[in-house]
Structure 1
Amino acid sequence: MEWDWAFVMEILPTLIEGAKITILATFLGSIVAALIGLLIAIVRRSKNRLISMPMGFIAEFIRGTPLLVQLYFIFYVLPDFGITLSPLVAGVIGLGLHYGTYTAEVYRAGIDNVARGQWEASKACNLSPVQTFAHVILPQALPPMIPALANYFIAMFKETPLLSAITVLELMNQARSIANFNYRYIEPITLVGAFFLVISLISVAGLRWLEHRYGRID
């Protein structure tokens, strides 16, 4: 089968729409993962073991099960309990939950690296726990964590083809539909690889800049 440039130009707009969904799912999933990861990290630091231990078990369970299984559960099983989500929303939640358990460990390591004296100084200044986290601990803990968090978000982007399993019209799903309809696979699948390669290279360049900018502590 020979490469057909006319066919490429015909399917390119559809693939671009799929790429937009892929990028949107990654962006929204990254926000969810960042927020859930921070919540998990804070709860796991609780001195109350009745709170920290169950959260630790939940995080380990999610991290230890495949993302694909979690996506199927959210999209296909939750409706049996009266919770019906659109494919994109289910995909974003699945990505966010799964990678939130990984970002939680990044947050926890970053928070633990803040000098103990900062906690004591905050207490001496009569700051509340919320004020201490918001104004003292997180501003110092976040910059060194940014490269590691960005790395997980790039990994999330590369896993978005799994969203095709729950009918999200992302890049891979669009390419597969085109290929099956036209019985031509070389052009759509090659273009998918090219899209992912270009976006990944741009992301890696951004990650290198983040490592240079935030990866070192003076």
Structure 2
Amino acid sequence: MPLWDWNYAFDILPDLLLALVTTIEITLLGSVVALLLGLVIAILRRAHIPVLDQVLWGFVEFVRSTPLLVQIFFLFFVLPQFGITLSAFVVGVFALGVHYATYTSEVYRAGIDAIPKGQWEAATALSLPRSRTWTGVILPQAIPRVLPALGNYVISMFKEVPLLLAIGVIEVVNAAREIGSVTFRYVEPYTIAGLLFLLLSYPASMLVRRLERRRVAA
């Protein structure tokens, strides 16, 4: 039996591509959660509301200090005991999104803290409403500064989606595993799965590096 069978590889490719769509969907939806929730956390912590700031600090540190897989298991296996049952897909999106929101919140905070103090003082001198200060002055300057770092976290999230095979999500690595368990040929499915990740993550990383170089040049 040959080590690599091209006919077999082409036969299983459609199933792996279909699973890749699921991987991309989870990544995109998880990224939306991570980017929006991270921004909300950063803004709320910037407000220095005494009790809330401590709660958010504790939440961020707790999530960042515990393994993502444990968080996935908690949401999928423990929450149903409290009457909250979520599908594996939803758990994947929520777990990845919240986990990475704790990292993106720190990225946002760094970008916000890098805004010169004079910008805040100018907004105050012009009597701009708080919401207008954020949306018209601070965030348009802070977010472009941190886009490369945010992009790196999105790529990292994409590569961590395979953790969801532990709760039965048919993403591309789980699909490769199931195909291999049926045919007892693992070289082709796992190799193709790895190449699919490479074909998407490498160009994305190149784009992030280009953005970073452009930011430095600016």
TM interval, shorter chain, is over 0.9
Aligned residues: 217
**What residue in structure 2 maps to residue 206 of structure 1?**
207
**One-letter amino acid of the structure 1 residue matched with residue 45 of structure 2:** R
Report the secondary structure of 1:47's partner residue: coil
Alignment of 1:106-125 (within 5 A): 106-125=107-126
Partner Cα separation in structure 2 for residue 217 and residue 51 of structure 1: 38
For 1:49, the equivalent position in structure 2 comes to: 50
What is the rounded CA distance, in whole Å, between the counterparts of 1:5 and 1:47 in structure 2?
Answer: 60
**Using the alignment, how far apart are the partners of 2:203 and 2:85 within structure 1?**
35
> Which one-letter code corresponds to 1:88 in the other structure?
F
Structure 1's unaligned 5+ residue stretches are none
Closer/same/farther in 2, CA of residues 63 and 83 from structure 1, 3 Å limit: same
Q: Which moved more, 1:108-117 or 1:118-127?
A: 118-127
The code of the aligned residue for 2:5 comes to D
Cα gap change, 1:217 to 1:101, in 2 (>3 Å)? farther
Tell me the secondary structure at the aligned position of residue 54 of structure 1.
helix
- 1:212 CA displacement: 3.0
Secondary structure of the corresponding residue to residue 159 of structure 1: helix
Aligned residue in 2 for 1:216? 216
Change (3 A) 1:101 1:217: farther
Equivalent residues in 2 for 1:81-160, closer than 5 Å: 81-160=82-161
What is the letter of the counterpart of residue 129 of structure 1? R
Measured after TM superposition, the shift of residue 208 of structure 1 is 2.1
Stretches (4+) displaced over 4 A: none
Structure 2 unaligned regions, length at least 5: none
Root-mean-square deviation (CA, aligned residues, Å) is: 1.2
Aligned to 2:167: 166
Q: CA separation in 1, counterparts of 2:98 and 2:49?
A: 23
Specify the code of the residue in structure 1 equivalent to 2:146.
M
Aligned equivalents of 1:166, 1:211: Cα separation in 2: 36
Distance in 2 (alpha carbons) for counterparts of 1:100 and 1:74: 16
Partners of 1:48 and 1:207 lie apart in 2 by 34
CA deviation after TM superposition for structure 1 residue 217, in Å: 6.9
Structure 1 residues 85-110: Cα deviation after superposition (integer angstroms, max 9, x where no partner): 11111100000000100001100000
C-alpha separation in 2, matches of 1:164 and 1:86: 13
Tell me what 1:185 maps to.
Answer: 186
Secondary structure of the residue aligned to 1:84 is: coil
Q: What one-letter code is carried by the residue in structure 2 that aligns with 1:31? A: V
SS of equivalent residue, structure 2 residue 216:
coil
Task: Find the counterpart in structure 1 of residue 15 from structure 2.
Answer: 14
Query: TM-score with structure 2 length normalisation?
Result: 0.96
Give identity over the alignment, percent. Answer: 51
Shift of 1:15: 0.2
Evaluate the alpha carbon distance shift between residue 125 and residue 217 of structure 1 in structure 2; reply closer, same or farther with a 3 A threshold: farther
Counterpart Cα distance in 2 of 1:197 and 1:154: 11
